[in-house]
Chains A and B, each alone.
Chain A
């Protein structure tokens, strides 16, 4: 059972905090903007070479940047939601209120969804402004793959949060690192075929790799991405559900040692 009022309170707490903190806002918008500039111009240059294997590359490069935000930025924001309670010594305060951990999870996901939507619309606007691409095609392709990749972001963040809820503040950096470890095997910026065999083996168990393959098949070769989309989405859903379940178990286990120690 979830108390939506409590969940919304958690989302609101983070919205109010982000609104006031230039560091968070800068981090949320600056890095995606930088990615758009670098990958967008790189994409334009490669596309101008008119090599057939790089058909529609500018669009793909930009979409990769946009879609990776759904994983990387979402994971970052979700982890920060929990870390913020540790940094502000609010963890005991918060969980001594009638707040279930499931209420907190829902609230943090709602907040992340809101912040990600803002970042995505900002990025699409910048892409439309800077590059000669069809922003409508960009938006429609983005909409197809964004949700399952957001679920991937939830999976990654709750894997990281399992560590943080057990080890506390000292493991915060480790939590942020996980998503970047998965990036090379996700096929976000290049097809997974370029990876060595062992890398491709790792990719087969990463849901993002199917979704990015699907995106490439759809935009580069005009193929139907349904099979990739379904495989990636089902994997993402299963992984995210298991990760959340394990996080709840870790949270309960952590209470045996006391939540107060997490902020030390």
Chain B
């Protein structure tokens, strides 16, 4: 459905003769594909190249090299045919503020060349789905961030697209509305087999929605796997202990062993390698450190993301 090959974007800054030209590669030779019905997550720290990639996929930024194909359409040669199949919503963009919600969606529908009656039907359907029918005649500029996001999502789905690109789709939504949006996305995938590419900083959302996650770092893809597999690639687990006796001994032991931990009163959260848990518990017993409660958190996608982000900071 979507095939991206060796996509690269290099920006050059500085204008001769006033400044020396400098090059910066925002996206570095990335390749991936998106199959019908697949939901692909795009993760990475700020500046990793996610938005740059999405802009290239939308044609608002020309790649330095590489190719993008939507089905049989080469995006460089047939951008309009490809864009007719794509819906897009971003938390960073806005719709004309003076126009009402219905007027804005009507304009978008006309650009997609949707006929009058179907356009009206689609607008009503989507406004109901996203719970904003009451806002139909409100000017878009007067909406709250969450309401505006829902209008943008309605815009993305107005032409019944085959592929939807969503940049932070639920960033400013209340949890219950965000949940409804996720359910809508999953239903669209099930009913119509649409493919979605989503960037999000909400790791739970990515884990819930995405079949596969691409992790970008400094413009390159550093991982391409399921959210679960990525989380499991982190060996660290978090052990929560409520210590009833010899808490000071535990603190000393953790310091001596250079084990990362946080503590509040007699509660400890300790980061350990997964395979070191048994030895750690044995060490507690040897030191007569007694605890009344223990729980172990498995690594999540967020842990994976933090590992990547921290590594970036140290580079």
- Listed in ascending order, the chain A residues whose CB lies under 8 Å from chain B are 3, 5-6, 8-10, 12-13, 16-17, 20-21, 84, 88-93, 95-100, 103, 252, 255-260
B61–A93 touching, CB < 8 Å: no
Question: B93: which of A3, A21, A89 is its contact (CB, 8 Å)?
Answer: A89
Is B96 an interface residue, CB under 8 A from the partner? yes
A5–B94 touching, CB < 8 Å: no
Separation of A29 and B102 alpha carbons in the complex (Å): 28
Given known contacts A5-B113, A96-B58, is B99 in contact with A13 (CB within 8 Å)? yes
- Listed in ascending order, the chain B residues whose CB lies under 8 Å from chain A are 11, 51-52, 55, 58-62, 80-81, 83-84, 86, 88, 90, 92-99, 103, 106-108, 110-113, 139, 155
Point out which of B90, B92, B111 has the most chain A C-beta atoms below 10 A from its C-beta: B111
For A255, list chain B residues within 8 Å (CB): 59-62
Question: B60: which of A10, A17, A89, A260 is its contact (CB, 8 Å)?
Answer: A260
Within the complex, what minimum Cβ distance (angstroms) separates B309 from chain A? 24
Main secondary structure of the interface of B (DSSP, over half): mixed
Question: A256: which of B62, B84, B107 is its contact (CB, 8 Å)?
Answer: B62
For A98, list chain B residues within 8 Å (CB): 80-81, 83-84, 111-113
Question: A9: which of B11, B55, B88, B110 is its contact (CB, 8 Å)?
Answer: B110
Separation of A258 and B111 alpha carbons in the complex (Å): 21
Report the number of A-B residue pairs with Cβ-Cβ less than 8 Å.
Answer: 100
For B60, list chain A residues within 8 Å (CB): 91-92, 95-96, 255, 258-260
Separation of A21 and B99 alpha carbons in the complex (Å): 10
For A20, list chain B residues within 8 Å (CB): 98-99, 139
A17–B96 touching, CB < 8 Å: yes
For B59, list chain A residues within 8 Å (CB): 95-96, 255
For B88, list chain A residues within 8 Å (CB): 93, 96
Separation of A198 and B61 alpha carbons in the complex (Å): 44
Separation of A20 and B100 alpha carbons in the complex (Å): 10
Separation of A255 and B59 alpha carbons in the complex (Å): 8
Within the complex, what minimum Cβ distance (angstroms) separates B272 from chain A? 44
B94–A93 touching, CB < 8 Å: yes
A6–B110 touching, CB < 8 Å: yes
**A–B complex contacts, Cβ < 8 Å, 21 sampled:** A10-B111, A12-B107, A13-B99, A16-B99, A17-B98, A88-B95, A88-B97, A90-B94, A92-B92, A93-B95, A95-B60, A96-B59, A96-B86, A97-B108, A97-B111, A256-B61, A257-B11, A258-B60, A259-B61, A260-B51, A260-B60
Separation of A21 and B141 alpha carbons in the complex (Å): 12
B110–A5 touching, CB < 8 Å: yes
For B81, list chain A residues within 8 Å (CB): 98
20 additional A-B residue pairs with CB within 8 Å, beyond A16-B99, A88-B96, A98-B83 = A5-B111, A9-B111, A12-B110, A13-B107, A16-B103, A17-B98, A84-B96, A88-B95, A90-B94, A93-B88, A93-B90, A93-B93, A93-B95, A95-B59, A95-B60, A98-B80, A252-B62, A258-B61, A259-B60, A260-B55
Separation of A5 and B139 alpha carbons in the complex (Å): 23
Given known contacts A92-B58, A97-B112, is B96 in contact with A9 (CB within 8 Å)? no
Separation of A90 and B97 alpha carbons in the complex (Å): 10
For B58, list chain A residues within 8 Å (CB): 92, 95-96
Question: A97: which of B62, B83, B139 is its contact (CB, 8 Å)?
Answer: B83
For B84, list chain A residues within 8 Å (CB): 98
Question: A89: which of B80, B94, B139 is its contact (CB, 8 Å)?
Answer: B94
Separation of A91 and B11 alpha carbons in the complex (Å): 20
Within the complex, what minimum Cβ distance (angstroms) separates A17 from chain B? 5
Given known contacts A9-B107, A16-B98, is B55 in contact with A92 (CB within 8 Å)? yes
Separation of A219 and B106 alpha carbons in the complex (Å): 47
For A84, list chain B residues within 8 Å (CB): 96
A260–B113 touching, CB < 8 Å: no
B113–A17 touching, CB < 8 Å: no
